[in-house]
């Protein structure tokens, strides 16, 4: 059964507002088995993640490479099956291939959450025009007739700042910034409630990066689409996000509203991340207090006992090295996993 042209137009209108969270994640884990026989080991990429996203909000996930940011995004987008935990979308528990869900249910739930990838060239089929890539997403979800899908693809390209004539060009004919705009258009094609953006600006020049970030912000404000923004760029996270989640070795170290986190980070790891961001004022840069980390990120195959950050934390004590701290709620809607907050 197909939708009408009117239905296709409605999906670009702002999303309705509900009191209940759009996405609730409780105790999410994702473990990978590597090696064989005696060398077999388990990588704890995500290890007990709690997360809540409301409609129209932008939540940022930050941390060093290997902290579990991208894996979290892929699990929430349905590209990886979780090892454990619950994912609730708009009050309904999400299912995946490991359950006995019908194809119709899977298609419906996957439509609610879409993803923008780090490398737009790798995520686009080089053999077909970009307009067809958007049409393909609509066809997969059985939205509209072929003529309606083509019209919607053109409209989406125009919505992200490209011309209608570009629909017939191939990915190699575009710049990096243009390809990322195409990726955004494709993610929006099926009318999702949540878009997961995995380092969407890391491969772009600074000027182009600002344009793409502003586009995402405009789409969020105009359409009410929620974003999960995965990044290591703290300046962009501060500009775009409403709330920030700080991850380290698969665990949440701190969670706080944007301005609270940047004004007064509670966890030593968050303090170290912010201390690494340069300040454009030379006087302030020379005067500010620094938190210097020693050592490398431990292996997720064998995380240290106690607090996972204890091997690099300048404030660590014997308690930190033996007892893992809980993510403790704090005033102001924030939380931190540290014995000495």
Residue 3 has a pLDDT of 41
Task: Give the pLDDT of residue 1.
Answer: 39
What are the pLDDT digits (tens) for 206-246? 888 999 999 999 999 999 999 999 998 898 999 999 999 99
pLDDT at 131: 96
Q: What is the pLDDT of residue 5?
A: 38
What is the per-residue pLDDT for 247? 97
Q: Which of 323, 233, 234, 244 is nearest to 61 (CA)?
A: 244
User: What would you report as the CA-atom Rg of the chain, rounded to the nearest whole angstrom?
Assistant: 21
Residues 6+ apart with CB under 8 A from 112: 89, 90, 192, 193, 194
Q: Which portions of the chain are predicted below pLDDT 50? A: 1-11, 97-100
Catalogue all structural domains in the chain, each as residue range(s) with its CATH number. 5-241 (3.40.50.300), 265-341 (no CATH)
Collapsing DSSP to helix, strand or coil, 74 comes out as: helix
In degrees and rounded to multiples of 5, residue 255 shows phi and psi of -140, 130
- pLDDT for residue 8: 47
What's the pLDDT score for residue 36? 82
pLDDT at 320: 95
Q: What is the pTM of this model?
A: 0.88
Q: How far apart are CA 148 and CA 255, in angstroms?
A: 43
């Amino acid at each position: 059964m197909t939708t009408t042209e009117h239905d296709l137009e409605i999906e670009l209108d702002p999303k309705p507002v509900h009191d209940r969270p759009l996405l609730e994640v409780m105790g999410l884990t994702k473990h990978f088995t590597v090696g064989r026989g005696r060398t077999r080991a388990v990588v704890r990429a995500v290890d007990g993640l709690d997360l809540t996203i409301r409609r129209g909000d932008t939540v940022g996930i930050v941390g060093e490479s290997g902290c579990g940011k991208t894996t979290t995004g892929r699990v929430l987008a349905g590209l990886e099956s979780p090892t454990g935990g619950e994912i609730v979308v708009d009050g309904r528990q999400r299912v995946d291939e490991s359950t006995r869900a019908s194809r119709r249910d899977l298609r419906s739930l996957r439509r609610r959450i879409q993803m923008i990838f780090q490398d737009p060239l790798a995520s686009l089929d080089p053999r077909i025009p970009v307009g067809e890539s958007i049409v393909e997403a609509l066809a997969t979800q059985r939205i509209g007739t072929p003529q309606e899908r083509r019209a919607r693809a053109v409209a989406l390209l125009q919505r992200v700042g490209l011309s209608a004539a570009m629909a017939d060009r191939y990915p190699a004919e575009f710049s990096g910034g243009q390809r990322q705009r195409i990726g955004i258009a494709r993610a929006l094609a099926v009318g999702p409630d949540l878009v997961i953006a995995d380092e969407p600006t890391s491969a772009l020049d600074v000027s182009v990066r600002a344009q793409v970030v502003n586009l995402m912000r405009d789409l969020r404000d105009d359409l009410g689409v929620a974003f999960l923004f995965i990044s290591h760029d703290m300046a962009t996270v501060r500009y775009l996000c409403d709330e920030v989640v700080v991850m380290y070795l698969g665990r949440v170290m701190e969670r706080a509203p944007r301005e609270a986190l940047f004004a007064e980070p509670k966890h030593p790891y968050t303090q170290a991340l912010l201390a690494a961001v340069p300040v454009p004022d030379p006087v302030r840069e020379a005067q500010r207090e620094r938190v210097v980390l020693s050592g490398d990120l431990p292996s997720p195959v064998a995380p240290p006992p106690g607090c996972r950050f204890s091997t690099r934390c300048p404030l660590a004590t014997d308690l930190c090295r033996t007892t893992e701290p809980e993510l403790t709620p704090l005033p102001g809607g924030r939380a931190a996993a540290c014995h000495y907050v």
